[in-house]
Structures are given as structure tokens and as C-alpha cells.
Amino acid sequence: MSGMIPIKTDSEIDKMKVACQITASILDAVGEIVKPGVTTEHINTFVHNMILENGATPATLNYHGYPKSVCTSVNEVVCHGIPSEYHSLKEGDIINIDVTSIKDGYFGDASRMYLVGGEGAVSAEALELVQHTKNALNAAIDIVRDGAHVGDIGAAIQEYIASTGKRYGIVKEYTGHGIGTQFHEPPQVLHIGRKGSGPKLKSGMTFTIEPMINLGTEKTVLSKMDGWTVRTADNKLSAQWEHTILVTDTGAEKLTQSLNGQDY
Ligand code: MF3
Ligand code: CO
Ligand code: CO
């Protein structure tokens, strides 16, 4: 993740847009099937098939041995939850669904939170956590422009989370990342930081921002059982939202913006 940060040409950016829009359209569609009783394996099958229908490839499948085409991270799972036919969603669960499509050699990576059974089904503290995490991502995207620094992104997230007055934990071990012809390129995008620190952002850079915010401790535990599933150390809830972003002269473009006219 260290080294030169690639600047994409216009034709590369066009390809990034196609991959990212496939990912966004899948995240739009998968919302329709997230319901109590549905297994995370069913979500995997749905996402896998939709990626293939778009002439794309699921980036996570066999990535360093990861066995599935999507990550499904429920409740206290922070990230990298593995879909399973034995795991049915329950009313009131919160789930992060993280999709990465490869199209024409370019990667599009995004994730969103879904409320199982709808807004009325989840606890007030869960709903707030999900909202605040989305707001934290948007606060970070708002400061991105040519000339800003990578450290400004983490600083914006920290500042927003502090402004909520909640004692949330910001996960440190997993970060955003440059993305393009590789899943994970430089720069590493920390979700904490100091204004003015880190490499300067330049128009044409593409990277993800993907804060993971915990209701309790920031500490996480990696499953010894499967080597992938990351949980909060206190088993309290965790939320995450992720976009692939393009730096422009005046700001940032959310390449994985919903195509449904939603505000994500
Ligand atoms: N999509 C994840 C990210 O945002 C990476 C998942 S890698 C996997 O960076 F192997 F766990 F699928
Ligand atoms: Co992702
Ligand atoms: Co990512």
C-alpha cells in the first residue's frame, strides 16, 4: 500500500465508473432481498449472480483465500463476515453488505448498511450508529479535493464522531485504500488522522473511504475459526459504509453513488 499513488487517465476513470456503477446497482438491488429469515448465503448467491450478469467478476472470491463473492457483516461483526447457509437474518439485525466488482480490469468497491425488518425493527441506538457512520463517511468525502491531504480524511471522521457526543469506537486496524486495476493500491486511507498530514490528494486519484464505527470499544478480534470474520472485542454493534471516490479539482465524486436517487 506504499509507493506512488496512481493518477487515472480519463479513459481509466471511465472504466472505474462502469465497475463502480455495477457495484452500486447491486447494492441497490440487494436491499430488496434483505429480510428476516433470509440466509447470508442467499445474499451471496444473489450478489454473485448479479455480478456475472453484468459481465463482471467478484473480486473477493478466492481473494487471499476468501471463499465468497460478498462480505456480510451482521451486528457485532465489524467486517469480512463470510456468508453462510446456517446464518439466517433476524428482525432487528443490522448488516453491512460489501460488494467489489471487477469490470474490464477495474475494481469498484462499496458497502452499505441494511436494517433487517426496516427502521422500526432496529433499536434506537443501532439506528443512530448506522446514521452517524454514514454521516462520518460523508463528512470525510466533503473535505476531499485536489490539494487536500490524506490525513484530512481521518481528521474529518474523528471530528464528526466527536461532535455526536457518543462514546463510539473508531476501528483502527482496517482502512480505506487506493483502488483501480488493483483491489488495494496506495494510499492507505486511515479513518483517524491529523489535518495536513499524509500525501497530497491530486485530481484523478481513486480510493475508498470506509469507516467502521463501534457502539463500544474500538478494539476488534479476528476469528480463529475462519481467519476472516472481524468482531468487536466487546460484542457490541458495529456499522460501516464505504464508497469508491474520485478526486476532482473542486471536490470529490462518489463513483459508487446509488442509482436510485437515494442519498448514498
Ligand atoms: N471489500 C473489502 C474492502 O472494502 C475487502 C474485502 S476482502 C475479503 O476493502 F477478502 F474479505 F473479501
Ligand atoms: Co469493500
Ligand atoms: Co474497500
User: Per-residue pLDDT tens for 85-98?
Assistant: 999 999 999 999 99
In this prediction, residues 64-70 reach a mean pLDDT of 98
Ligand 1 atom nearest residue 177's Cα:
9
Domains delineated in the chain = 10-254 (3.90.230.10)
Q: Who lines ligand 1 at CB under 6 A?
A: 60, 63-64, 66, 71, 80, 98, 100, 109, 208, 210, 228, 242
Alpha carbon 118 to its chain centroid, in Å, reads 20
Q: To test the ligand 1 pocket, which listed residue (62, 80, 245) has its Cβ within 8 A of the most ligand atoms? A: 80
pLDDT digits (tens, 9 = 90+) for 97-130: 999 999 999 999 999 999 999 999 999 999 999 9
For 128, the grid coordinates are 443512530
pLDDT digits (tens, 9 = 90+) for 194-246: 999 999 999 999 999 999 999 999 999 999 999 999 999 999 999 999 999 99
SS3 of 28, please?
helix
Q: Tell me if 48 sits within 8 A of 58, measured CB to CB.
A: yes
Q: Tell me if 67 sits within 8 A of 128, measured CB to CB.
A: no
pLDDT digits (tens, 9 = 90+) for 17-34: 999 999 999 999 999 999
CA distances from 178 to 6, 98, 122, 144, 247 (A): 8, 16, 33, 14, 11
For 235, the grid coordinates are 460484542
SS3 of 227, please?
coil
Q: Tell me if 179 sits within 8 A of 190, measured CB to CB.
A: no
Q: Tell me if 95 sits within 8 A of 124, measured CB to CB.
A: no
User: What is the rounded distance in angstroms from the CA atom of residue 131 to the CA atom of residue 205?
Assistant: 27
In this prediction, residues 246-250 reach a mean pLDDT of 96
The owner of cell 491529523 is 194
**Closest to 103 measured CA to CA, from 67, 61, 54, 69:** 54
CB contact set of 221 (below 8 Å; sequence gap of 6+)? 230, 231, 232, 233
Q: Tell me if 133 sits within 8 A of 166, measured CB to CB.
A: no
SS3 of 59, please?
coil
Q: Tell me if 16 sits within 8 A of 192, measured CB to CB.
A: no
**Closest to 247 measured CA to CA, from 146, 99, 97:** 146
Q: To test the ligand 1 pocket, which listed residue (77, 100, 107, 228) has its Cβ within 8 A of the most ligand atoms? A: 100
Distance between Cα 80 and ligand 3 center (Å): 11
Angle between helices 150-163 and 124-143 (to 10 degrees): 150
Ligand 1 atom nearest residue 208's Cα:
4
pLDDT of residue 3: 82
Angle between helices 40-53 and 10-30 (to 10 degrees): 140
Which residue's CA is the closest to the ligand 1 atom numbered 3?
109
The owner of cell 447457509 is 85
pLDDT of residue 1: 56
In this prediction, residues 136-143 reach a mean pLDDT of 98
Handedness of CA 108, 231, 132, 50 (dihedral sign): positive
